[in-house]
């Protein structure tokens, strides 16, 4: 059974992603940058028609199809998961929310709106968004869950 807090987390993440993208795209011209923390953090409004690191540019319909399949698989595993398996359920919610956020951008705008830009230890990390953060944190939760599950069965 899906808990209200799980629905709340999913809806909140998708809303936060959409709101942040809308605010940035209305406040910053495409391609412009605003320094937040000198030499470390910028708001840079870009559009990505590809995947991570702009791979496979222009494959909108492929990405839409992959997102639909991914969300169906995540939804299936979520419904089948034990409600006591908190790490797995949180991981699936985060990954689903991130996938849905970027799916909506691709569907509505033909690309994903990115705006968070960081220089970490001299490496300019690719510009990303809230949906990307949710996806990555979800993957980390999934890895943690696999270690927890592995220890239970060891």
Catalytic residue list:
114, 132
Could you tell me the CA-to-CA distances from 152 to 65, 110, 145, 148, 149 in Å, in that order? 36, 44, 11, 6, 5
For residue 117, what are the contacts with CB-CB under 8 A and spacing of at least 6?
A: 33, 41, 42, 43, 44, 124, 125, 127
DSSP at 125: P
């Amino acid at each position: 059974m899906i808990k209200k807090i799980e629905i709340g987390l999913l809806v909140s993440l998708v809303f936060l992603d959409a709101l942040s993208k809308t605010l940035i795209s209305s406040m910053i011209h495409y391609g412009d940058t605003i320094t937040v923390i000198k030499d470390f953090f910028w708001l840079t409004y870009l559009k990505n028609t590809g995947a991570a690191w702009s791979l496979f540019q222009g494959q909108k319909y492929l990405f839409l199809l992959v997102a639909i399949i991914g969300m169906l698989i995540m939804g299936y595993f979520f419904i089948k998961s034990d409600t006591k398996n908190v790490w797995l359920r949180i991981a699936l919610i985060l990954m689903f929310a991130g996938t849905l956020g970027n799916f909506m951008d691709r569907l509505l705008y033909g690309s994903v709106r990115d705006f968070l830009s960081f220089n970490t230890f001299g490496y300019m990390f690719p510009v990303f968004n809230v949906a990307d953060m949710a996806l990555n944190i979800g993957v980390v939760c999934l890895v943690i869950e696999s270690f927890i599950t592995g220890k239970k069965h060891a």
